[in-house]
A = this chain, B = another copy of it.
C-alpha cells in the first residue's frame, strides 16, 4: 500500500498545501498569461482579491522561488512581478488542471443541478 504521506517532511504535502492556498494557482496562471505585471494589474485581473491577500500570497510565492519581485526606485513606486524559471516549470502542471476543469466542468455542473431538488 503506497502512501506519500505523513512522513517527517513530505514534499508532496508541502507543495500541495502551498498551492492549495486560495489564490496561489490563480496568481500563477495570471502571471503566466500576462507576463510581467504590476501589483495593481494583478489585483485588477483577479478582481476579488484583497490587497492584503495579494501581498501575502505573492510573498509566499516569492519565498518558494516561483515569482520574481522587482522594485523600481521611482516616485510613485513601481513594483513588477513575473514568474521565475521555476514558476514557469510549474505552469504546465497547473494548465493541466485548468484544461481538465474546462473539459469536465460542464457535466459536473449538470449533475449538480440534478441534485438540487433533494
**Which of B6, B45, B63, B98 is the one whose CB lies under 8 Å from A3?**
B45
**Which of B9, B105, B111 is the one whose CB lies under 8 Å from A15?**
B105
Tally of A interface residues using CB under 8 Å: 53
Cα distance A112–B3 when bound, in Å? 25
Least CB distance from A22 to B in Å reads 7
Are B20 and A108 closer than 8 Å at their CB atoms?
no
Cβ of A111: which chain B residues have Cβ within 8 Å of it?
65
Q: Chain A: residues with CB nearer than 8 A to chain B? A: 1-6, 9, 11-17, 19-22, 25-26, 29-30, 33-34, 41, 45-48, 63-65, 86, 89-90, 92-94, 96-98, 100-102, 104-109, 111-112, 115
9 pairs from A and B in contact (CB 8 Å cutoff):
A5-B30, A9-B109, A11-B109, A20-B20, A20-B21, A65-B108, A65-B111, A92-B96, A93-B97
